Amino acid sequence: MSLQHVSKRWIAKALCSRRQLLASISALALAHSWVPGWASVLRGGGLPWDADGISPPVPVRPGPWVYFTADEAAAVEAIVDRLIPPDKSGPGGKDAGCAVFIDRQLAGAFGDSRELFMRPPFARGTPRQGPQSPIAPRASYRASLAALDGYCKATFAGKAFASLDGVRQDHVLTGLENGEIKYPDGDGTAFFEIILANTIEGFFADPVYGGNRGMVGWKLIGFPGARYDYRDHIAKHNEPYPLPPVSILGRDEWSIRG
């Protein structure tokens, strides 16, 4: 399966000092945590941590769009199916659930950047620094999709992006990628880069997040998924992995019968 448009993408003394510093910090932290924490255990106050204090992923279930409007969803489904088109090796981005993956991510912590530092000053950073914008992905997607359809309607006799044929859709996406298509407000190339990255993430992420339906992305590259043990096959280089991939949730055919 082809991914269209995917064209891009000191000193022993100092080290010793760093190790000494880290060791000192660790020892200090351990000393501080030992006394109140274990003292409470000795007094019968329980463990110094919360049992099962984790936040497991919530499985994405089939259903209506959570963040996208119908028109936005149609555009995103069309985009992901051009970025990863269906062919004889398997389904494309749409049928693999990439749009659903993006929708659920935008509706969650990724969409509103709640887990990121979002205070000024904001300056254009290097690629390694990641996004340096006061605009969260959720708002950026909405504005960019509106600008995309506005451009298409003005250019193609009132047709939205999702209504264009594949050739014209590819032409528009290529224009966004190389900067030939300019938005009145916003950055079309930046939008292309983020939706491309999110599409690839949706195609190869664990199915628990809504994409990679049927683990099609993993099957394509021979990835075993979340299998607990495949040591017998680690040394077998250049040999296909013989077992089907496993999701965090297992496989559909696995069930516990009473």
pLDDT tens by residue, 52-107: 666 777 888 878 999 999 999 999 999 999 999 999 989 999 999 999 999 999 99
pLDDT tens by residue, 154-205: 999 999 999 999 999 999 999 999 999 887 777 889 899 999 999 999 999 9
What is the pLDDT at residue 126? 79
Name all contacts of 149-152 with Cβ < 8 Å and 24+ positions apart: 149/71, 149/75, 151/181, 151/183
pLDDT tens by residue, 206-226: 999 999 999 999 999 988 898
pLDDT tens by residue, 223-258: 889 888 878 888 888 888 888 899 988 887 765 544
* First-last CA distance in the chain: 41
Does residue 20 have a pLDDT over 90?
no
**Nearest CA among 219, 199, 177, 193 for reference residue 85:** 199
Angle at 151 between CA 145 and CA 177, to 5 degrees: 70
**Nearest CA among 60, 71, 79 for reference residue 191:** 79
Q: Which residues contact 212 (CB under 8 A, 6 or more apart)?
A: 96, 97, 101, 202, 203, 204, 205, 206, 218
pTM for this entry: 0.74
Helix (H, G, I), strand (E, B) or coil at 22: helix
